[in-house]
Amino acid sequence: MSETKIPDENAQKIKKLEKQVAQSRRALEELRHEKLFSEKVLDSLPGIFYLYNEQGDIIRWNKNHETLTGYSAEELPKRSMLEWFSGEDRRLVARKVGAILKNGGRDDTEAKLVIKNGRKIPYYFTGVQMTVAGKKYMLGVGIDLTKQKKIEENLRKSEEKYRAIFENAVEGIFQTTPDGRFVSANPAMASLLGYESAEEMISKVTDIGKQLYVSEDIRIEFINLMRSRKVVSGFEIQFYRKDGSKIWASLYARPVTDEKGDLVMIEGIFSDITERKELTDALIEREEYLSRENLLLKEDFKDRYRFGKIVGKSPAMQEVYELILKAASTDANVIIYGESGTGKELVAKAIHDLSDRKINDFVTVNCSAIPESLLESEFFGYRKGAFTGAGADKEGYLDMADGGTLFLDELGELNPNMQAKLLRVLEGGGFIPIGGRRLKKPNIRIIGATNRDLSNLVKKGAMREDFYYRIHIIPIHLPPLRDRKEDLPLLIENFMEIQGIDQKRLPLRGDIIEAILRYDWPGNARELQNVLHRYFTLNILDLISAPEKPKPEMNKEAVSLGEKIEYDSVMAHFEKNLIESALERNRWHREKAAASLALPRRTFFRKMKKHGLIRHELSQ
């Protein structure tokens, strides 16, 4: 039995050893994986990682330590901790490290790290003492502060620039609370109101409304504008100075609200216009516009094929872009000429969005769509009770566009009487709403648009010459699509993008593109958009002019047979056929159809509506 037992015991011992070996191998493998994981974590740190002993020798580091400093894995251990710094930074780091190793705990500091090429890079370093087997080590990371330092420097320069403007500006700059106390003011503001310093004015003027405003009504109007969240520009108001004399001022002010939308502050610019106010009672058109943004836009304008929502690379469109930039840098009135569908409103909106008026409204008015009897009430507004049905005050277009831009589409349709009234507003005379008593002087810029020859209208007496010259300051002529066919591929791509059409899934065949390029596009870009929409919807390219219908004739046989025929219904039927035929001959171009029948546009549009011939098309 003893002989049998010995081999069994040996076998058990062997199995046990094998199990221990396997466990050891697994443990070693786990340690290897853990080490790889730890190294990967360290190498993934955004900055540099380091572990130094008490003698200042580096023990561990991550890959970034090599990459960011330029030293290899063989070179790094040869550098002591303090060799990474110079001058005062070296002394600072030495003190910090000495304190950490002596007293324990952690600390941090900023210092410039000297890398291999000699550059000094600002870093934020952290350090913490670690004790292992009675030996002290310093563990930490370093983060590159270059970007942060640049941001801080730019912020500092920006603050210095603002402070210099604030302190040295000739206009008064102020901030007030809604209840009428100064929060801050620059020296010019105090000087304009007769005080020795801004500090003196802020301390003595504790109620602006009672101490400074000459007119209580004007004060209430200004506060109401602020509470309605409106930015005011060129707001004329009279103040008392410290010695009791009066000063006229022009204010640019804007309300500042909190996250709830409550008014918390009013800030703005104060200009003395006393001398000019005494010389003339006309509206002072202030033109303190910062053209730098427009100049920078012009210099940095790299994509010459697209200007906001306007698309085109042709020389003609490049000239339009230049005129848009010039118009946006001034406050002069603009007139845009172009056929229907060329994008006149897009150009007007681009001028507004690039100008200093962009913070205020862009108000669009289709002059041909307003009945003459309603022109005055639509433009100037009215007061409650001004006429039957006026149950409440109504703002007019001039009120809505105050501080912003009034876009008058189809400007040539305005009658001379309305031209005269608008001219008075443009020349500073202001207007009085229907049923109102107080004169209002809005600060507006007019951009007009037309497809008519305004100079010819002046010759015919349909347009006032003085109104024409007041509007015709900067003329912009939009080329028809047939004169810039090199823009067609860009316009097609743009319209497909707007309509969400996948060009890879629904490509335009070569014969389709060739047909598009050959076509003259009497309806311009709007017609192109409509044709593309129909093509991708119905797979039909509709470019062939519709055949002319025979002119509608009276049914002579019906009359001769003595049938009972209503005269009005026969004439209405004839008129409808006549208008419909003209529209189809001109591919539903309403202006051309009206001209072909020698009818005024308003009359033609009214008859279209009467006979149910208004069709809804995609707008451009």
List, for residues 375-432, the tens digit of each pLDDT value.
888 899 887 766 766 678 888 899 999 999 999 999 989 999 999 999 998 888 888 8
The closest of 257, 249, 254, 174 to 213, measured between CA atoms, is 249
Averaged pLDDT for residues 315-334: 90
The candidate with the shortest Cα–Cα distance to 620, out of 527, 536, 545, is: 527
The topology (CATH level 3) of 169-279 is: Beta-Lactamase (3.30.450)
**Residue 587 in this model has a pLDDT that exceeds 80:** no
Residue type, 581: S
Q: Is residue 39 very low, low, confident or very high in pLDDT (cuts 50, 70, 90)?
A: low
Task: Kindly report the number of other CB atoms within 10 A of residue 462's CB atom.
Answer: 16
Average of per-residue pLDDT values in the chain: 79
47 DSSP 8-state letter: S
Q: How far apart are CA 468 and CA 411, in angstroms?
A: 10
Does residue 513 have a pLDDT over 90? Answer: no
Q: What is the pLDDT of residue 198?
A: 81
Distances (CA, A) of 619 to 330, 492, 526: 29, 15, 7
Where in 419-506 does DSSP place strands (E)? 445-450, 474-477
| CATH number of this structure's domain 305-479 | 3.40.50.300
pLDDT-derived band of residue 178, with 50, 70 and 90 as boundaries?
A: confident
Q: Is the pTM of this model over 0.85?
A: no
> Which pLDDT belongs to residue 359?
92
Token digits of residue 99: 């304190």
From 1.10.10.60, 3.10.450.50, 3.30.70.20, 3.40.50.10190, which CATH number describes the 545-620 domain?
1.10.10.60
* Alpha carbon distance 605, 590 (integer Å): 8
Q: What is d(CA 70, CA 83) in angstroms, rounded to the nearest whole number?
A: 14
Q: Which residue type is seen at 262?
A: D
Percent pLDDT > 70 in the chain is: 80
Phi and psi, residue 336, nearest 5°: -110, 120
pLDDT top residue among 619 and 423:
423
Contact between residue 210 and residue 204 where contact means Cβ atoms under 8 Å apart: no
Any residues with CB less than 8 A from the CB of 80 and at least 6 apart, and which? 55, 56, 57
Determine the average pLDDT of the residues in 598-620. 70
- Measure the CA–CA gap between 442 and 444, rounded to whole angstroms: 6
- pLDDT, greater one: 551 or 409: 409
Bigger pLDDT: 481 or 28? Answer: 481
pLDDT band at 34 (very low <50, low <70, confident <90, very high): low
| Cβ atoms of 371 and 484 closer than 8 Å | no
Compute the distance between CA of residue 559 and CA of residue 566 in angstroms, rounded to an integer. 11
Query: Cα–chain-centroid distance for residue 374?
Result: 34
Average pLDDT over residues 563-583: 73
Residues facing 239 on adjacent strands: 213, 247
455 vs 385, higher pLDDT: 455
pLDDT of residue 283: 45
Neighbours of 37 (CB within 10 A): 10
- Rounded to 5 degrees, φ, ψ at 175 are -140, 135
pLDDT of amino acid 619: 33
Average pLDDT over residues 572-599: 80
Which CATH architecture is the domain 45-146 placed in? 2-Layer Sandwich (3.30)
For residues 427 and 36, the model is more confident at 427
Query: Which helix or strand (DSSP H or E) is residue 466 part of?
Result: helix 465-471
- Please report which confidence band the pLDDT of residue 558 belongs to, taking 50, 70 and 90 as the band edges: very low
Question: What integer is the mean pLDDT of 263-274?
Answer: 83
Q: Which residues of 401-422 are buried (b: 16+ CB within 10 A; e: fewer)?
A: bbbbbbbbbbbbbbeeebbebb
Q: In this predicted structure, what is the pLDDT of residue 527?
A: 85
Over 70: is that where the pLDDT of 296 sits?
no
Rounded CA separation 52/547 (Å) = 92
491, pLDDT greater than 70? yes
Cβ neighbors of 332 (< 8 A, separation 6 or more) are: 445, 473, 474
| pLDDT tier, 13 (very low <50, low <70, confident <90, very high otherwise) | low
CA 499 remoteness from chain centre: 22
CA distances from 168 to 164, 171, 183, 186, 197 (A): 6, 9, 19, 8, 13
Q: Per DSSP, which regions of 398-497 are E strands?
A: 405-409, 445-450, 474-477
Residue type, position 170, single letter: V
One-letter amino acid at 237 equals I
- The whole-number pLDDT of residue 617 equals 38
- For 200-251, how does the pLDDT look when each residue is reduced to its tens digit (9 = 90+)? 888 888 787 777 877 777 778 877 788 777 888 888 888 888 888 888 888 8
Distance CA 163, CA 155 (A): 12
Q: What is the pLDDT of residues 341-357, one digit of tens each?
A: 888 999 999 999 999 99
Q: Give pLDDT, residue 137.
A: 87
Of 112, 114, 46, the residue nearest 80 (C-alpha) = 114
- Give the end-to-end CA distance of the chain in Å, rounded to a whole number: 107
Tokens of 507: 């490509």
- Over the range 495-516, which residues count as b (16 or more CB within 10 Å of their CB) and which as e? bbeeeebeeeeeebeeeeeeeb
